[in-house]
Chains A and B, each alone.
Chain A
Amino acid sequence: MPKDNTTTEGGIGAATVRREDIRFLTGEGNYTDDIRLQGECHAIFVRSDVANGVIKSIDTSTAEGMPGVLAVFTGEDFVEVGGNPAGWLINSRDGEPMKEPKRPVLAHGKVRHVGDAYAAVVAETREQALDAAGAIEADIEELPAVINMASAVAGGGLVHDEIDTNVCFDWGWIEDNRAATDAAIKAAPHVTTLELVNNRLVPNAMETRASMGDYNAGTGEYTLYTTSQNPHMSRLLICAFVLGIPENKLRVIAPDVGGGFGSKIYHYGEEALVLAASKKLKRPVRWTSTRSEAFLSDAHGRDHVTKIELACEKDGTFIAFRTETMANVGAYLSNFSTATPTFLHGTLMAGNYTVPNVYVNVKAVFTNTVPVDAYRGAGRPEATYSIERVIDMAARELGMDPIELRRKNFVKPDQYPFASAAGLEYDSGNYDLQMDKLEAMIDRPGFAARRAESEKNGKLRGLGLNAYIEACGIAPSNLVGVLGARVGLYDAATVRVNATGSLAVMVGAHSHGQGHETAFPQVVAEMLGIDPQSIDIVHGDTAKIPFGMGTYGSRSLAVCGSAVVRATEKIIAKAKKIAAHMLEAAEADIEFEAGNFSVAGTDKSVSFGEVAFKAYIPHNFPIEDIEPGLEETAFYDPANFTYPSGAYACEVELDPETGKVTIERFAAADDFGNIINPMIVTGQVHGGIGQGIGQALIEQTAYDDDGQLLSASYMDYAMPRAEDVPFYQVNHDDGTPCAHNPLGVKGCGEAGAIGSPASVVNAVIDAMQSGGKNVTHMDMPLTPSRVWEAMNAKGV
């Protein structure tokens, strides 16, 4: 459904302003912490201030007697309930299943990271709960912290005593390709080797996590208001794995949510606690995370240490990629933590290239740090960064132009579907076209003059670029089931046409910044030929929406949007039957265009609204052939991942006296397939690049050897601000449509964060080299002091 076919104002391809922004920008949003219930009380969590320790005793007696205190909980209260599970089973190279230590609601026996909650107080007011939390006396015997991954793998202290190792799994992909890859690298005329770190990030959604449990003793039903990207999945995890509540007795509502970036995919213990506390007290129990708690308890992102080798011919033809990665999973397995470094990372390790041999080894490592899980891009930024950094290094070593080296190895447009050496089947793409678009934006011929101008001012200037590919539209259930997923990854939509012709579309996807409330109606409006303003999206409430899997992995439009299309097709099919009856014609003769049903070859027609009205006022209605009403549900399970791709370039200026890097220009050429709302897509790319620049330049998550988080507030954790980023040039025109979903869309939510760090670092390396510094690599973030130290050989 390319945009050229647009027949409806505000339909597919229109840059419609986001309707939800009006309430967000005028303070009319309804977030979890805005909801007030009669009789609510407040939970405060008591969190470990040591990274590793044995809980000898917890004395809650003083706290229990303090004013306003209603209940105190410890890990002892949750021994009988289940653990919070990992969603993917990964097997090690030797066939052994991964190690899955229990992740309890509250720490029991041991605390395993600074911020690990081991007790909770519920009181009439938040202040009373805080006072009582301070009066809980825990005797915790501190043990040496396991922080460094290499040491954790080598042995010594254990994060989980019961599994006798800190290695969760040792995964090979694709194991059958290992010998061939090893042999190819051994025989290769040129091998470039690079060891690099993909730095740990704190997600920092603008709204911190918040949850409120509300148990209704009259009906036995629980309601959980929570900051979730996927209310149905949270409900499933809470019901089936943790608390054992029947699913029909738990309603999960994720109202307006102020950003997630992955960190709100997962079920967290705080959600289970407020539910259990509400049942015990028969009162609503709320908890809202402080920013300080968020640093110490929201799942972090990235944190890989990788050695990558690129083997190639003297002419630059790629022969093999081989990587060895240690992926930090932190103290416990968060829900997607085992999928992120494996099937969202290893499978992308062929990049955009026809390289015939790929072998990936990933060891997932437990440490006494906050759990690590999917964060915008999730595995694919790590893959892209490794590949595109080593290619840049190889280009320097071979004396080749970095664009030409990439083009030489790109999959070509006539090769689709293309079976990559890392096991995926790319359905569509045109990487040379993306590079063409990029070159048209970046004025490469003018770079020398810009560099000269910078040098005149005592600065260095560098240009860096890269290609990227990602697997989105997560995911075909059959395939991921084979790969170890414990859930299906379809989505669902219900289209309800009201009697007067307006529509409610109930979707499994959850919008927390993505603009679904604007984009999804554009699709339905286009299909039905009606005004998008007559269509509303309903999301975020398990009592209202069909069982969909939520929003992450750039999946909402590609998967849930496809379900919306399928459900709308069913609406059209039924409406045609009704129209045929109204027009006294054969169904086969009914044509539907621009919101009108007409009899082919005649001027007889009825509007969509008239048909809807007839469906609900079924007088003179063929009730024996057609049910009344006009409401349809569809589930959609994709046939394949989608494969957005692109080429990014960054131009930096570097002050050699201070090490300060400024981004002067940034260009993004993306292939997202067909585009529903180009303005929203542009915004998603802008946001993603901002996060990528943050990772590349300033975001630094540092633990000391004792496991204390040194960057635990905005005083030390730098988030990108407006002045840190340039005006972006973006171009997502002329996408190659996805070959297997009805809209031909690929997903755009993560691309900016996936594609940008490598080009920033490549540009800084280029700048340093131009200044006569033989720096071939340095690890992110490229903060001023670290750049200065690298340039002055201080051993960074």
Chain B
Amino acid sequence: MYNFEMTRPSTIADAAKALKEEDAQALGGGQTLIPTLKQRLAIPSTLVSLTGIGEMNGVCMSDANEVCVGGATSHAVVAREASAYPGLAGLASHIGDPAVRNRGTVGGSLANNDPSACYPAAALASGASIITNTREIAADDYFQGMFTTALEDGEIITEVRFPVPEKSHYEKFVQPASRFALVGVMVAKYADGVRVAVTGASEEGVFRWTEAEAALSANFSADALPDLSISGDDMISDLHGSGEYRAHLVKVMTGRAVASAA
């Protein structure tokens, strides 16, 4: 680890100001950033911790039936308090291990956009709104490829609003070593249609499986899936599975998510 300054502002405005410093870096729960620093793979001048900002912490309901999660809210709190959206709470309750869940934050996960992280699937399948200190970004516009998002430098995710679906479930098949998602599929059924988001599988990061969405919107049942095909060509191929295997798992996990949706 290289030396750095550390600041822990208590307001979003102060955090935004601190992030204007050259090479300043926002720190959520640190579940990716701290190991990166320990490996000397990053040299921030200042870490701006966001976890002391009261207005970025906690879970509440909006009038539009959205679960609203503060950007600095830990996975454990979401797992405990997002009971209005069981699919989301269930997803949060299976991220990493208890230590990860008590440190890691929803804003940190979405800002990092690891291609194997769970939260991007929840945000995309829910058609969530990503609220930042400057604007509101639709999930469909937010994810722009592996580790790439619509966020500008210094922009802070202050809140994420998840519209509550009628039924949903996240089914994850874990990579044996990291326990990240080798393939994770979030299925969410809304009045106006079904959304299916896939994480872990693609070189491009989280994506919507639109063929499955169409099929499931017509018939929300695992029986709607067998005839669909999905190509493994652009999927991640590594020690833990070929692109073809991941494509196969996308289908299997989607079917299981539908079968378990509640």
Contacts and interface: CB of A to CB of B under 8 A. Distances in A.
Interface of A: 127, 130, 292, 657-660, 697-698, 700, 702, 710-711, 714-719, 783-785, 788-789, 794
A785 B245 contact: yes
Contacts of A658: 173, 249, 252
B45 to A, nearest CB: 17
A657 B176 contact: no
A758 to B, nearest CB: 21
Given A130-B40, A789-B245, A784 B239 contact: no
Given A130-B40, A658-B249, A784 B241 contact: yes
A702 B241 CA distance: 13
A773 to B, nearest CB: 16
A487 B248 CA distance: 55
A718 B241 CA distance: 14
A711 B178 contact: no
B176 A715 contact: no
B177 A788 contact: no
B176 A718 contact: yes
26 contacts: A127-B2, A130-B40, A292-B39, A657-B252, A659-B245, A660-B173, A698-B176, A700-B239, A710-B238, A710-B239, A711-B177, A711-B239, A714-B177, A715-B177, A716-B178, A716-B240, A783-B176, A783-B240, A784-B173, A784-B176, A784-B182, A788-B248, A789-B242, A789-B245, A794-B242, A794-B244
Contact of A785 (B177, B178, B241): B241
Given A789-B242, A789-B245, 14 more contacts: A127-B2, A130-B40, A292-B39, A658-B173, A659-B245, A660-B173, A702-B239, A710-B238, A710-B239, A711-B177, A784-B176, A784-B182, A785-B245, A788-B248
Lowest 5 CB-CB distances: which A-B pairs, in order?
Answer: A785-B241, A718-B177, A718-B176, A698-B176, A715-B178
Interface in B227-246: 238-242, 244-245
Nearest to B248: A788
Contacts of B2: 127
B183 to A, nearest CB: 9
By CB atoms of chain A within 10 A, which of B3, B177, B238, B248 has the most? B177
A785 B40 CA distance: 33
A456 to B, nearest CB: 16
Contacts of B176: 697-698, 718, 783-784
Contact of B177 (A657, A717, A789): A717
A784 B173 CA distance: 10
Given A658-B249, A715-B178, A785 B173 contact: no
Contacts of A700: 239
Interface of B: 1-3, 39-40, 173, 176-178, 182, 238-242, 244-245, 248-249, 252
Given A130-B40, A702-B239, A711-B239, A716 B177 contact: yes
A784 B242 CA distance: 11
A788 B239 contact: no
B178 A714 contact: yes
Nearest to B240: A785
Contacts of A659: 245
Nearest to B252: A657
A785 B242 contact: yes
B75 to A, nearest CB: 19
Nearest to B180: A715
Nearest to A785: B241
B50 to A, nearest CB: 25
Contacts of A785: 240-242, 245
A784 B176 CA distance: 8
Contacts of B178: 714-716
Nearest to A659: B245
Contacts of A789: 242, 245
Nearest to B40: A130
A779 to B, nearest CB: 14
Contacts of B3: 127
Contacts of A127: 1-3
A361 to B, nearest CB: 31
Contacts of A783: 176, 240
A464 B3 CA distance: 54
Nearest to B253: A658
Given A658-B173, A711-B177, A715-B177, A788 B240 contact: no
B60 to A, nearest CB: 34
Contacts of A698: 176-177
Nearest to B38: A290
A660 B183 CA distance: 13
Nearest to A702: B239
Among B1, B238, B241, the most chain A Cβ lie within 10 Å of the Cβ of B241
A716 B239 contact: yes
A665 to B, nearest CB: 21
Contacts of A292: 39
A774 to B, nearest CB: 20
Contacts of A657: 252
Contacts of A784: 173, 176, 182, 241
B31 to A, nearest CB: 13
Give the interface centre of A127, A657, A785 by most chain B CB atoms within 10 Å: A785
A784 B40 CA distance: 33
Contacts of A130: 40
Contacts of A715: 177-178
A717 B177 CA distance: 5
Contacts of B249: 658
B164 to A, nearest CB: 30
A658 B249 CA distance: 7
B93 to A, nearest CB: 15
Contacts of A718: 176-177
Nearest to A660: B173
Contacts of B241: 784-785
A700 B175 CA distance: 12
A716 B245 CA distance: 17
Nearest to A700: B239
Contacts of B252: 657-658
Contacts of A710: 238-239
A6 to B, nearest CB: 43
A333 B48 CA distance: 49
A363 to B, nearest CB: 27
B8 to A, nearest CB: 23
A794 B238 CA distance: 15
Contacts of A714: 177-178
A717 B176 CA distance: 8
Contacts of A719: 177
B179 to A, nearest CB: 9
